[in-house]
Structure formats: structure tokens, C-alpha cells
Amino acid sequence: MKEECRIRIEAVRRFLAGERPAVKIYRSLNQSRRWFYFWLNRYNCNDENWHKDKPKAPKIIHNKTAKETETLVCNVRDKLAKTKYAQIGALPIQWELKKLGLKPIPPIWTINRIIIRNNLVKKPEIYEKRNKLYPGTEATAPNISHQLDLVGPRYIGKGKDNRLFSFNLIDVFDNAAKVKPYKGKRSIFATDFLVYAWQTLGIPKYL
């Protein structure tokens, strides 16, 4: 028996045995007046567990998700997991529930809690590197390998007239770079940019 329970029983036993005043009882046990009368009022001769602490968690959870909704979320998650290339997070599940006509739709955080509670979170598979050789280039000096990238569209205002695309070029060895914006992304712009960049950096062996 826990020490706290033993003290509660002793305090009530001494009082029922006729020991007075009450202050002498609870002070000898290093307890307060409020504590003493709380357990004295809790005493019930028909309840052998009267001296034990009652659970503090609420018996009724008013916002608990309905069992049918939780089952539906789990089934939708399982269906998505078995569908090739399908997303399986809370947002896709919420979208599927809307298509099924469920009302009200559980919020994202509720769906995430259901997924965790039902152990549906899967650890990502560890990628095993294959011992397969692929052709590649090793940049041991400038102008051996350049990397070209196109970023956009980006807008400096409203409308197509303010739409820009950025051609970016970088030397793999020394990170020398060239950047230039264009109104489009056609091959004529790419050609113009390469001429512009290579006039400064030089022509690489590989692009």
C-alpha cells in the first residue's frame, strides 16, 4: 500500500476511534485541516477503495472523433497507400472524405492524430545504392563542365509583359557563374545566353 493511502486510513481511523481534537490528528501526520476533512468526507464503509485517488481524466470526451469516422479515415489511408503514386498524407485523405460526402470533414490535425493512434505511419524505405557505374564527368579545371538551368517565370509586375525567365550558368570546378533574364524560354533565347556567357567564361567541354 502506498504511504499516502496508509496516512489517509490512519487519520480517519483515529478520528472514528474517538481521538479529539481533529487538529491533533492531522498535525501529527504533517497534513492540513483541508486535507483531513476531505478524506474524512470521502470515507465510505461500503467502499474499500475510498482512500485511493480517483482518475483525473474526464470520463466523457465531448470532442472525441466518432468511431465510424475514424474507421473511414483508416480505410481511405489504406486505399491510398495501395494506389501507385498516390499521396497518403492528411490533405489527400481529407479530399477523399469530401468526395465521399462525409460531413463534417475532420480537420487536418484530427486526421493526423487518427493516423498516429492507429499505427499507420510507415517509416520510409532505406534506399540501397546499387553498385552500377554511370557515365559522368570530373571537373578538374575550369571549362570542363558547365551546368545550365532555367528559372521562371518570375514577375516584376502584373501581366505577361512583366514576366521574365532567368537563364543561369555555372562552372562546376570554380563556381564562376553567369545570369541573364529574358522575356521567354525559347531556344533562341537559350542560344543567345550561351553565346553571352561563353564570351566571358569560355566554352566548356561538356554542358
Query: Which residues, in sequence order, are CB contacts of 190 under 8 Å at separation 6+?
Result: 148, 150, 167
Q: Report pLDDT for 64.
A: 67
Task: Tell me whether the omega of the peptide bond preceding residue 107 falls within 30 degrees of 0, making it cis.
Answer: no
E-only strand ranges, 11-119: none
The per-residue pLDDT for 200 is 87
Residues 193, 159: one domain?
yes
Would residue 98 count as lying in a domain? yes
The boundaries of the domain holding residue 101 are 67-117
Residue range 19-53, pLDDT digits in tens:
888 888 989 999 999 999 998 898 887 888 888 88
Q: Are 24 and 67 in contact (CB under 8 A)?
A: no
Domain assignment present for residue 59? The answer is no
At residue 157, the pLDDT reads 72
Query: According to the model, what pLDDT value does residue 142 have?
Result: 85
For the chain, the domain total comes to 3
In a domain, 130, yes or no: no
Evaluate whether residue 49 is within a structural domain.
no
The secondary structure of residue 98, as a DSSP letter, is: H
